[in-house]
């Protein structure tokens, strides 16, 4: 990955809201990031910070109404060697978007049953996509589907084709999801908490598989999770979200070793480590803000131990703090100093 | 099989002693006449002692029987077999509760009023703070109810509720609000206040963090530790988050398919796990540090966890175990103390000793 490669995806100022009785919920409130070809970008943040809504917005899969994509751009480049040939996922006409979905940009969800059809045989669900996007005939598609299931480690792939999703364990279902997601060699895979519902030993099986296959196919992955360990293991770069925005983004090692945003630092201090003996964990006090009533300045200010008047008044912009590393914090230097202590 | 515990200076007197505890759920079939056709051996022979003031961690994957074990210890499920002793606390009973006047009691033999009396000493904190609080009661009412059930005088109640809410970090001014007006973390605090209301000695905390956000989890962990110091509580801490369990527990037991496969002081278990299942479990947990994580090797287990309806014979782990040999498929591994206080049930565990 050299700096000269054009991103496969450039998201700028994405804004998605839900209009509810409680008012406008600004679920994604100005999100900007790039995704480079073949890289894994981890997105972390607490519940309600807008991770899923952001991913769903990119494929225009949020329920409208009550949701609405209010603005921004998501420039997708199917071929990074031809940077000029690109399209805005938020603007392309529906038929074209349907061709992109599942083909160029695939998605895996936390709960496999939401994306597997319970009354359709597993084989039919995969061959359908292959016939639609790759123009294979039925026999070719079936052979390809069996090969894919085999590749994701399903013990008896041919028998599995004729089974139904409920007959599989959670781990096996998630493998089927991976097979389906990768069947058309997508440029981008959006993986939203792909293993959160699974046990740790099964989670490890599935994530290792996902990492290996996407490396083989050169697929760029957006890995959404609240597990800082998973991100540390699999992500090349990390984006930390808080209240609908990116508060920090950078190379994984830099985020963990040299955090520049108070929320990132707080998050790191609040998780115990498996490899450290009895330790004091330092919680972040307070609770995340109500997305229907975001504070005017930095959304983290009410919980932040570094906050001063400027934080409560002026919303910090994402700024370069280091090579390829940005943070949106008025006191980034102090945070780094505290982290290095 | 009773497990003698390490005479660690850290640990107080035995408080809870579990002996060969079993809980089997009957599986019934039949339209008119239900017959038992099988049994889910959710808990199948647990023995351990928890000491006064200790946090005893219980870990294992989904369905291994952690919740069932916790409930069977508290007699919320009646055990199929085995005993659960509650021993008197050396300086317990200062509030004149007659629960343990005559010394140790076997909870499995208690019924009715007697069981309710002793229940004051043994309480539970639940995983889901949404489901465990009555949505139609105010949080003050929820805490007060626990006091009423256990027969505290009315005039003391209001003051005590305020004090309890304050103890868990909720402003007593919010006592008249309903659970839905609180965040997940605050609701968990209410659940803790309810458990504390009756001044328990022993608290089973069943996944008290798993419904909460990372940053909030740390708040609750710290609260539980503070309360332990303040009221000399003893915890059975059930969780599938192995890092949190290490941070809070004095000793840890690892369960697999209804049985304990390894038990050791926390540091020993994490530094030198002796059972291949514990090793695999620990190696599956990613560490939040890219520099460390990328150098780590992993033991990736193959296959799924077998059903507790029909657990594999001999060593229950043999069909997923990376080092299984013939004897593992033929004989139950013995429960052995391979280091002081470090117990393991595996035919090959001693080969791991350096
Ligand atoms: N259909 C909807 N109607 C109203 N509000 C919604 C809807 N979907 C999401 N939201 C709100 O948008 C915000 C962001 O939600 P989102 O699901 O993206 O969070 P998340 O970061 O994925 O959280 P989690 O870690 O829990 O999955 C939340 O405040 C949520 O309540
Ligand atoms: N009321 C019940 N009736 C029948 N079987 C049950 C019942 N409760 C639990 N089981 C079964 O007993 C086994 C142990 O379940 P238990 O809930 O104790 O596991 P656990 O370790 O707490 O899992 P988790 O981590 O998912 O909470 C499982 O196979 C479960 O399906
Ligand atoms: S007894 Fe055998 S099968 Fe069981 S864990 Fe030990 S080595 Fe593996
Ligand atoms: Mg989500
Ligand atoms: Mg449970």
User: Is residue B181 predicted with pLDDT exceeding 60?
Assistant: yes
Strands A237-242 and A40-44 turn out to be parallel
pLDDT higher at B23 or A21? B23
Average pLDDT rounded to a whole number, residues A268-292: 85
Q: Which residues contact B13 (CB under 8 A, 6 or more apart)?
A: B51, B52, B87, B89, B90
Percent of chain A at pLDDT above 90?
48
Whole-number mean pLDDT of chain B?
87
Average pLDDT rounded to a whole number, residues B160-175: 90
Lowest mean pLDDT among A17-21, B32-36, B120-124, B350-354: B32-36
Average pLDDT rounded to a whole number, residues B142-152: 78
Residue ranges covered by each domain of chain B: 14-121+200-352
Tell if the CB–CB gap between B215 and A172 is shorter than 8 Å. no
pLDDT digits (tens, 9 = 90+) for A295-341: 889 999 999 999 999 999 999 999 999 999 999 999 999 999 998 87
**Cβ atoms within 10 Å of A53's Cβ, excluding its own:** 25
ipTM: 0.82
Name the fold adopted by B14-121+200-352.
Answer: Rossmann fold (3.40.50)
Distance CA B32, CA B321 (A): 43
Tokens 């917005």 belong to residue: A57
Average pLDDT rounded to a whole number, residues A191-197: 84
Q: Which ligand is nearest to the CA of B255?
A: 2
Angle at A192 between CA A241 and CA A292, to 5 degrees: 45
pLDDT at A235: 95
pLDDT digits (tens, 9 = 90+) for A102-124: 889 999 887 656 677 888 888 88
Q: H or E stretch including B155?
A: helix B154-167
* Residue B113, Cβ density class (10 Å: 0-12 exposed, 13-18 middle, ≥19 buried): exposed
The tokens for A60 are 């225009």
pLDDT at B3: 39
Tell if the CB–CB gap between B243 and A232 is shorter than 8 Å. no
Q: Is A285 on the interface with B (CB under 8 A)?
A: yes
pLDDT at B352: 76
Torsion of CA A282, A286, A287, A288, to 10 degrees: -90
Strands B55-59 and B251-256 turn out to be parallel
pLDDT digits (tens, 9 = 90+) for B188-244: 999 999 999 888 999 999 999 988 888 889 999 999 999 999 988 999 999 989 999
Q: Is A169 on the interface with B (CB under 8 A)?
A: yes
Average pLDDT rounded to a whole number, residues A131-159: 84
CA B61 / ligand 2 centre spacing (Å)? 11
pLDDT higher at B299 or B14? B14
User: Is residue B93 predicted with pLDDT exceeding 70?
Assistant: no
| Distance (Å) from the alpha carbon of B286 to chain A's nearest alpha carbon | 5
pLDDT at A83: 72
pLDDT higher at A81 or B42? B42
Average pLDDT rounded to a whole number, residues B110-121: 88
pLDDT higher at A212 or B94? A212
CA A55 to chain centre: 6
* Contact (Cβ atoms closer than 8 angstroms) between residue B253 and residue B66: no
Q: Is A253 on the interface with B (CB under 8 A)?
A: yes
pTM over 0.80: yes
Ligand 1: residues whose CB is within 6 Å? A 18, 20, 25, 27, 45, 47-53, 63, 66-67, 226, 291
Q: H or E stretch including A43?
A: strand A40-44
User: Is residue A249 predicted with pLDDT exceeding 50?
Assistant: yes
Distance CA B294, CA B19 (A): 43
* Contact (Cβ atoms closer than 8 angstroms) between residue A219 and residue A182: yes
């Amino acid at each position: 990955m050299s700096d000269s490669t054009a991103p496969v995806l450039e998201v700028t100022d994405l804004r998605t809201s839900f209009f509810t009785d409680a008012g406008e919920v600004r679920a994604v409130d100005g999100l900007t990031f790039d995704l480079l070809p073949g890289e894994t970008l981890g997105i972390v943040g607490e519940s309600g910070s807008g991770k899923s809504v952001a991913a769903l917005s990119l494929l225009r899969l949020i329920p409208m109404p009550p949701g609405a994509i209010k603005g921004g751009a998501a420039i997708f480049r199917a071929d990074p060697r031809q940077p000029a040939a690109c399209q805005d996922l938020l603007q392309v006409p529906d038929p074209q978007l349907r061709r992109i979905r599942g083909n160029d940009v695939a998605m895996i969800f936390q709960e496999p049953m939401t994306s597997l059809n319970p009354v359709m045989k597993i084989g039919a669900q995969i061959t359908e996509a292959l016939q639609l996007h790759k123009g294979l005939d039925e026999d070719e598609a079936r052979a390809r589907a069996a090969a894919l299931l085999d590749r994701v480690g399903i013990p008896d792939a041919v028998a599995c084709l004729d089974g139904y999703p409920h007959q599989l364990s959670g781990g096996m279902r998630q493998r089927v999801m991976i097979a389906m997601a990768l069947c058309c060699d997508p440029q981008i895979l959006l993986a939203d908490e792909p293993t959160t519902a699974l046990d740790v030993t099964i989670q490890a099986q599935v994530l290792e598989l996902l990492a290996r296959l996407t490396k083989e196919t050169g697929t760029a992955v957006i890995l959404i999770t609240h597990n800082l360990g998973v991100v540390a293991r699999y992500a090349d770069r990390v984006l930390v979200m808080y209240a609908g925005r990116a508060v920090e983004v950078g190379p994984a090692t830099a985020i963990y070793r040299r955090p520049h945003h108070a929320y990132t630092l707080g998050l790191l201090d609040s998780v115990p480590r498996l490899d450290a003996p009895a330790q004091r964990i330092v919680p972040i006090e307070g609770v995340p803000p109500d997305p229907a009533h975001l504070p005017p300045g930095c959304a983290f200010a009410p919980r932040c131990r570094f906050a001063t008047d400027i934080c409560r008044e002026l919303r910090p912009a994402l700024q370069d703090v280091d090579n390829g590393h940005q943070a949106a914090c008025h006191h980034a230097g102090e945070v780094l100093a505290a982290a290095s202590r | 099989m009773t497990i003698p515990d390490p005479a660690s200076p850290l640990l107080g007197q035995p408080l809870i002693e579990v002996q060969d505890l079993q809980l089997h759920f009957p599986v019934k079939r039949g339209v008119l006449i239900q017959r038992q056709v099988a049994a889910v051996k959710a808990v199948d022979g647990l023995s351990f002692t928890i000491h006064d003031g200790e946090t005893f961690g219980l870990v294992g994957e989904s369905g291994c029987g952690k919740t069932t074990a916790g409930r069977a210890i508290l007699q919320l499920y009646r055990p199929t077999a085995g005993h659960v002793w509650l021993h008197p606390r050396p300086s317990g009973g200062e509030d004149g509760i007659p629960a343990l006047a005559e010394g140790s009691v076997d909870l499995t033999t208690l019924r009715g009023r007697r069981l309710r009396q002793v229940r004051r000493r043994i309480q539970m904190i639940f995983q889901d703070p949404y489901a465990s609080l009555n949505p139609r009661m105010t949080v003050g009412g929820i805490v007060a109810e626990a006091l009423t059930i256990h027969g505290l005088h009315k005039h003391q109640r209001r003051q005590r509720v305020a004090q309890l809410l304050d103890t868990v970090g909720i402003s007593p001014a919010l006592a008249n609000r309903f659970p839905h007006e609180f965040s997940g973390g605050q609701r968990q605090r209410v659940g803790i206040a309810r458990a504390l209301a009756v001044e328990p000695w022993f608290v089973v905390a069943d996944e008290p963090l798993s419904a909460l956000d990372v940053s909030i989890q740390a708040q609750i962990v710290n609260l539980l530790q503070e309360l332990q110091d303040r009221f000399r509580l003893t915890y059975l801490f059930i969780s599938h988050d192995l890092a949190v369990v290490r941070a809070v527990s004095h000793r840890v037991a690892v369960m697999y398919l209804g049985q304990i496969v390894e038990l050791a002081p926390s540091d020993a278990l994490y530094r030198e796990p002796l059972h291949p299942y514990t090793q695999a479990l620990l190696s599956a947990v990613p560490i939040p540090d890219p520099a460390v994580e990328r150098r780590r090797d992993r033991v990736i287990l193959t296959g799924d966890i077998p059903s507790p309806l029909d657990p594999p014979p001999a060593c229950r782990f043999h069909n997923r175990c990376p080092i299984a040999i013939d004897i593992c498929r033929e004989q139950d591994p013995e429960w052995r103390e391979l280091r002081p206080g470090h117990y393991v049930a595996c035919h090959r565990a001693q080969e791991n000793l350096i």
